[in-house]
């Protein structure tokens, strides 16, 4: 019966040889008339992702719960026009450098570089016109054991102040087991820095659930995190999470420490907006970086990554002024970001792992959104 329902919903019968489907479609136009495309990735288990070329954005991710009810588990907008007019990083690809660089400045091989500043004095997520504000090209689309779309972008030398030309691809792949894999690859023609990730905000109860993420349970396998100053720049310290509201080594309610003003880091961050140094470090293959579960619906998200850091952002700047999908007003905690990446401001912190990329030594980051149901 379940298989018949899926066939009715998707119009395709999954077979062992072709378990997932990719469908290319038009998504709308930007203000200047540029056409934006979309690709839907679907598997036989009721999981569906929609990727749009503007910002190489994960616009939608739908997953079933324990009772089979499918729900949208990310925050976002209904239209391309909203992504362009009201940018809030929902599901976008961020780069060249995810997160913050202090003062928008860094040095490489003795030369100083000034980036565009879009977070007061800092550079955030690549600057004023980062990768999230570009219309990427579709390189290929394919169905089969995995449904896949590859998107490409060329960032010229000097783009937002970064040195070197960068040729970038982002690949979204959905398999029948429930893994949405996102692979970032970049080649530079001169030394530069690169740090890319996805900025989806998740709620496993479903977008629009009145309680937001407050009842969801989060696990982050990290013994230390990087405290920040009043500009949300890491101080360089690696501080133990033990005995603090930053201890997610065992499952913990998202809301448990969200408003705990006894911790100065919660006050300065307006909630959680901090990088966790994952115990696994940088790995050759994706390993667990975070797990988020909604006990009511049973929906589970596991985030896996090859990178050593994870930024946990509790949606602190969702202040009720942002109207998202289906006309919903978004508030703090309605969705949370779990962003695998290199550490913030690493180019200015010698004790953090380097973000340097050289010619002949390409950048690669592989992360997985693994969707399942807790019984």
Question: What is 303-330 written as a DSSP string?
Answer: EEESSSEEEEE--TT-EEEEE-GGGPEE
Please check the confidence at residue 17 and state whether its pLDDT lies above 60.
Answer: no
Q: Given pLDDT bands bounded at 50, 70 and 90, which one contains residue 286?
A: very high
Output the pLDDT for position 375: 85
Q: Of the CATH numbers 2.40.110.10, 2.70.98.10, 3.40.50.720, 2.50.20.10, which one belongs to the domain with range 2-373?
A: 2.70.98.10
Say which of 199, 293, 302, 307 is annotated catalytic.
199
In the residue annotation, 302 being an active-site residue is answered as no
Output the pLDDT for position 19: 84
Region label for 89, one of left (φ > 0), alpha (ψ between -120 and 50) or beta (otherwise): left
Cα–Cα dist 3/21, whole Å: 15
Q: What is the pLDDT of residues 65-101, one digit of tens each?
A: 999 999 999 999 999 999 999 999 999 999 999 999 9
Whose CA is closest to 286, among 344, 369, 207?
A: 369
Average pLDDT over residues 347-363: 97
In the residue annotation, 339 being an active-site residue is answered as yes
Output the pLDDT for position 2: 36
Q: What is the pLDDT of residues 298-344, one digit of tens each?
A: 999 999 999 999 999 999 999 999 999 999 999 999 999 999 999 99
Average pLDDT over residues 150-166: 98
Say which of 84, 293, 339, 365 is annotated catalytic.
339
Residue whose entry in the numeric block shows the structure tokens 């004095």:
121
Three-class DSSP category at 25: strand
Proportion of the chain above pLDDT 70, given as a percent = 95
Q: Please give the full DSSP string across 337-367, using - where no structure is assigned.
A: EEEEESPTTGGG-TTSPP-EEBTTB-EEEEE
Output the pLDDT for position 330: 96
Average pLDDT over residues 34-49: 97
pTM of the model: 0.94
- What are the residue ranges spanned by the domains of the chain? 2-373
Structure-block tokens of residue 240: 């133990």
Burial of 367 (0-12, 13-18, 19+ CB in 10 A): buried
Q: Given pLDDT bands bounded at 50, 70 and 90, which one contains residue 6?
A: very low
* Extended strands (E) in 84-165: 93-94, 100-101, 105-108, 111-114, 123-124, 137-142, 146-155
Q: Given pLDDT bands bounded at 50, 70 and 90, which one contains residue 102?
A: very high
Proportion of the chain above pLDDT 90, given as a percent = 93
CB atoms within 10 A of CB 362: 13
Cα–Cα dist 42/12, whole Å: 10
């Amino acid at each position: 019966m379940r298989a018949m329902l899926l066939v009715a919903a998707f119009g395709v019968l999954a077979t062992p040889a072709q378990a997932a489907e990719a469908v290319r479609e038009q998504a709308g136009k930007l203000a200047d008339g540029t056409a934006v495309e979309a690709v839907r990735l679907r598997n036989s288990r009721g999981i569906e992702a929609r990727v749009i070329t503007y910002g190489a954005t994960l616009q939608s991710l739908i997953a079933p719960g324990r009772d089979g009810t499918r729900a949208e588990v990310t925050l976002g907008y209904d239209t391309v026009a909203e992504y362009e007019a009201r940018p809030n990083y929902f599901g976008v690809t961020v780069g060249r450098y995810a997160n913050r660089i202090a003062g928008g400045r860094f040095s490489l091989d003795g030369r100083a570089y000034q980036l565009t500043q879009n977070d007061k004095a800092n550079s955030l997520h690549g600057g004023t016109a980062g990768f999230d504000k570009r219309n990427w090209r579709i390189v290929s689309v394919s169905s089969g054991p995995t449904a896949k779309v590859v998107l490409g972008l060329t960032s010229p030398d000097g783009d937002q102040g970064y040195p070197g030309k960068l040729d970038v691809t982002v690949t979204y792949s959905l398999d029948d087991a429930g893994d949405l894999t996102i692979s970032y690859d970049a080649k530079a023609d001169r030394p530069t820095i690169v740090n890319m990730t996805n900025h989806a905000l998740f709620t496993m109860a479903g977008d629009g659930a009145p309680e937001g993420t407050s009842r969801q349970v989060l696990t982050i396998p990290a013994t230390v995190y990087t405290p920040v100053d009043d500009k949300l720049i890491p101080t360089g310290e690696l501080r133990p999470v033990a005995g603090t509201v930053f201890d997610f080594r065992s499952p913990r309610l998202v809301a448990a420490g969200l408003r705990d003003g006894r911790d100065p880091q919660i006050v300065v961050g307006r909630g959680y907006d901090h990088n966790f140094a994952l115990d696994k470090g940088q790995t050759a293959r994706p390993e667990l970086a975070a797990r988020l579960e909604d006990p009511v619906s049973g929906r589970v998200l596991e985030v896996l990554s090859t990178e050593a850091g994870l930024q946990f952002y509790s949606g602190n700047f969702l202040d009720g002024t942002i109207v998202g999908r289906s006309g919903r007003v978004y508030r703090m905690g309605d969705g949370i970001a779990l962003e695998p990446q290199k550490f913030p401001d690493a180019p200015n912190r010698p004790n953090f792992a380097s973000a340097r990329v050289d010619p002949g030594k390409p950048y690669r980051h592989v992360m997985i959104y693994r969707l399942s149901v807790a019984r």
